[in-house]
Structure 1
Amino acid sequence: MKRQKRDKLSRAHSKGYQAGVIGRARENCPYQDTEIRSQWLGGWRAAQEDRSSGLIR
């Protein structure tokens, strides 16, 4: 059975979260499209919030 790819927006959000977890700067967002970029930044912000609240070290 083939696995379906996740949609681009949720993938961008999870990639942004991963970037935020490892401490990358938000200027390193690889997307130019505003909708996809905003999803990446949303994931990045969520990771920063989790880091500041102590959920991630």
Structure 2
Amino acid sequence: MKRQKRDPFQKAYVSGYKAGVTGRSRDDCPSQGIEMRESWMSGWREGREAQWSGMTGVSGLHVNPMATT
């Protein structure tokens, strides 16, 4: 069975979501490319919103961040 590679933009989004929900700064974005940074920042914003809604730490990581996009 062939493995399907994940979309790099989806991977950046999920990484940004995890960073946002754990309270990391948006300056921690590892990407310098415009499109990748945009995906990471979108995930980070969603993660911050989840954190502000009470989903802090591990409780926010169980949410599927790609279900909202």
Q: Aligned equivalents of 1:45 and 1:33: distance in 2?
A: 18
Structure 1 stretches of 5 or more lacking a match?
Answer: none
Per-residue deviation, 1:22: 1.6
Q: How many residues align?
A: 56
* 1:5-49: CA deviation from partner (whole Å, max 9, x where unpaired): 111111100000011122110001000000110100000000000
Runs of 4+ in 1 over 2 A off after TM superposition: none
Code of the residue aligned with 2:50 in structure 1: it is: D
Q: Aligned equivalents of 2:34 and 2:10: distance in 1?
A: 14
Q: Tell me how large the CA RMSD over aligned residues is.
A: 0.9
What's the TM-score, normalizing by structure 2? 0.75
Q: Describe the SS at the equivalent of 1:23.
A: coil
Alignment pair present for 1:24 and 2:24: yes
Q: Aligned equivalents of 1:21 and 1:5: distance in 2?
A: 25
Structure 2 stretches of 5 or more lacking a match?
Answer: 57-69
Q: Aligned equivalents of 2:3 and 2:47: distance in 1?
A: 27
Q: Percent identity?
A: 50
